[in-house]
Amino acid sequence: MGVGMASCNQNSTTNLNIAILYDPRAEGTSTSLKIVPHKGYQTLYLNYRYSGVGHAAYLWLNKLGRSPGLFPFYGKRRAEELGVNFEDGLWFYRKGLDVGSVVQCLPYFLNRVPDNLILDEDETIRWLKPHSILLLGVKHPHGKIAHIYGLFKEDIIENIPRYLAKEYPEWAEWVKRLDEVCDPKSIRRPAEAIEEIKRNLPPPPYANLPLEDRVKMAEEVLANLYPWNEYPIVNLFVASLFFKSYYVRAKQTKRELWLVCDEDVLLFKGWLSKIRNIVVRSYDKRLALWFFNQLGRQAAVMEKSFPYKNNFLVFETDIEAVMEKLLEEDIPFLVLCATKEEAEEAYSWFEQKKLHEKAIQADERFTPNQVYNVWREGKCIIFYENSTISRGVDLNIYDVLIVWSEGFAAPYEEFLAETTGDKTRLEERLTMELEQNLVRTSPVPDDWQDQLKFIICKRKPQLNLLADRYIGKVDAGYLAEVILPICPKVEKREVKGEFLENWAGQPRVYYGRTINYMLSHEIKLPENPPILFINAVLHANPESVKRVMLNRVKPHQLDEWFTRLLTRLAHRRSAPCRAEVEEYLKDLISDKVLRNAFINILVELGIFKKVKKGKYTYYVLQAERGKGLYRPYKHKDVMCEIAEALLRGHFSELKLFVPDRPASYPKQTQYVDRGRELTGALREGR
């Protein structure tokens, strides 16, 4: 369901309640900023990420040309890093738009009610709900304790906010008891120890109070500001109010103990209900509609599909074999892991192969500029699900993403799945989170929009958005042959020059050694891209592309088959029927299913137009359309150049007519194949 323009009239007295369910790269943020009334209205934009906040401010000011007095509204930690004085008020309020991180800015906004509220991204909405807390986690590969993590990995008593200790002493005592029980030093056998800790944990003190009282307590606590290191304890307080159970999340090499709370509670309903116009941008339809339902509002829904879905190909194969081949060929790639710990495992793989200089682990402050610089150095980036880079940084400069592992922690959904037996919600959440990471490599407008993106997995992934882009299980060697002629390389080379000398013209010395060369990196674009294959992936039916790839057809073969077909059509004056086209291709493509798939690709790309006449279907060559596929590419191999020359010369002048019945067609041994003649002439012309 769409939203009419009348809904956005600046003088309308009707409340605006809109759920923007745009897929990634569909301009959801700019649409949300654009549709809210702005003349004489105050808009509050909230995002849980600082990078999202800055992006919205840029769009509002530069793309939409609004509110020249805009000043970004940062959270306390970020403001202090920027040297902003919290007391001078200059950063606090500007006419037109306030933007902020929902984590720490919300207390400032609760004292006034904006005309418009924009909640951007799923996690921003989730920050307005309680969320479950990881109390203690133990990583134990081969039964040995390798790493302990979680809230109680160290003493947290000193981080209990004075406000909570004073107002809720019973709760403070409960935390001290948890701190005693969750003693990392007592863990010897992880599986048994975590279960023993769970049995000894006391229930939270206020979990049985009426829901209204608990909501009020949570809102009062969150309405205060705290030092950054105290927020984990604040979140524990909120979660404990809506306690459901202690839950052990057991995996093969780790155990995690969670406090699971009811995450289907919306906080600050009173404040939200006073806001006239609310726009929610979300990928999760269930979450967005739940939000409006909690406020008793009926939301209009705006939906827009993912514009770059056809750029993606998803494969199942031996990922380590592909990684080794890509590293050997100097093609940098991304490595996605389920957790931070597994990201460290992936980096260990590079170390074992003595290739650690070609990889870097992304931290929480990884920026778009860093991504670009790392790629220019030919390095791979290792990151993990539900991290800052997985949600807030574009990775479009990379063309290959390796899924090392998947399945981040979703304790609430896992708890519901185990207690109710219904896994639907869990599967939806995991699939959505995985695909949010996969599509971070999507092209951006006006920048390599036709570049193919390869997703390579150990096993078949659970997909929704990219479900029809899954090709299947393929051989690692074949997959590398597909990637190499399509993706850019970043090669390391030695550079010599004047910069190696000092101001006096003498050789530069570094730690007692004379520098006689420096290392640089050269970006090499594919010299002869498989043009027909790239266009088939982008524009043809995915089933046709799947048949081609599962038959291990090399990308350049499509161009060769098409060129040979053109040379065999060069003697004709009438359009061929289906049987004739198949006869021309029979010696090139012996498999009938593959032959039909190739013909279908040519039709789907518009190179051949099917014309029905009588009981026959003819295939009329559209020379201009075929020529248009080859025109944008500067580098072409011999077969592509022959095809383009034929389409530009012979077939652009020759108009094939549609006969009443198929022509008397010579058999395969009799037709004229001008391929060798044209190839020789073209090479002599060089």
Q: Residues 547, 671: one domain?
A: yes
Is 181 in the same domain as 118?
no
Torsion on CA atoms 343, 349, 352, 358, rounded to nearest 10: -80
Nearest to 482 by CA among 457, 454, 459, 461: 454
Mean pLDDT of 349-364: 87
Domain boundary among 275, 304, 333: 304
Residues 656, 570 share a domain = yes
State whether 231 and 341 are in the same domain: no
Task: Give the global pTM.
Answer: 0.82
- Indicate whether 616 and 681 sit together in one domain: yes
Segment 6-17, tens digit of pLDDT = 334 444 446 889
Q: What is the pLDDT of residue 493?
A: 60
Q: Does 285 lie in the same domain as 249?
A: no
- Of 501, 524, 547, the residue at which a domain comes to its end is 524
Which pLDDT tens digit goes with each residue over 312-337?
999 999 999 999 999 999 999 999 99
What are the angstrom distances between the C-alpha of 192 and each of 138, 141, 143, 259? 12, 15, 12, 18
Q: How confident is the model at residue 682 (pLDDT cuts 50, 70, 90)?
A: very low
Give yes or no: residues 380 and 474 share one domain. Answer: yes
Q: Angle, nearest 10°, between helix axes 555-569 and 592-604?
A: 80
Q: What is the pLDDT of residue 134?
A: 94
CA dist 195 → 243, 280, 676 (Å) = 18, 40, 75
Identify the band that residue 473 occupies on the pLDDT scale cut at 50, 70 and 90: very high
| Inter-residue contact 182 to 153 (CB < 8 Å) | no
Reference 80, options 99, 97, 110, 104; nearest CA is: 104
Q: Give the confidence band of 510 by pLDDT, cuts at 50, 70, 90.
A: very low
pLDDT of residue 81: 45
Q: Which helix (H) or strand (E) holds 250?
A: strand 243-251
Rounded distance, CA 410 to CA 425, Å? 10
Asked if 352 and 435 sit in the same domain, the reply is yes
Helix 578-585, helix 555-569: angle, nearest 10:
120
Which domain covers residue 23, as residue numbers?
A: 5-128+267-304
The DSSP string of 434-488 is: HHHHHGGG--BTTBSTT--EEEEESS----STTGGGEEEE--HHHHHHHHTTTS-
Looking at the structure, tell me whether residues 36 and 161 fall in a common domain. Answer: no
- β-pair type (453-457, 470-473): unpaired
Structure-model confidence comparison of residues 536 and 81, the more confident one? 536
CA distance 132 to 236: 8
pLDDT at site 311? 93
- Other residues' Cβ atoms within 10 Å of the Cβ of residue 142: 6
| CA pair distance 129, 596, nearest whole angstrom | 54
Same-domain status, 369 and 464: yes
Nearest to 454 by CA among 487, 405, 419: 487
Q: Is 38 exposed, middle or buried (0-12, 13-18, 19+ CB in 10 A)?
A: buried
Average pLDDT, the chain: 82
Q: How many domains does the chain contain in total?
A: 5
pLDDT digits (tens, 9 = 90+) for 253-286: 888 999 999 999 999 999 999 999 999 999 889 9
If asked whether residues 138 and 234 sit together in one domain, one would say yes
The residue with greater pLDDT, 503 or 113, is 113
As a whole number of angstroms, the distance between CA 501 and CA 496 comes to 10
Residue 246 and residue 524: Cα distance in Å, rounded? 54
pLDDT for 497 beyond 60: no
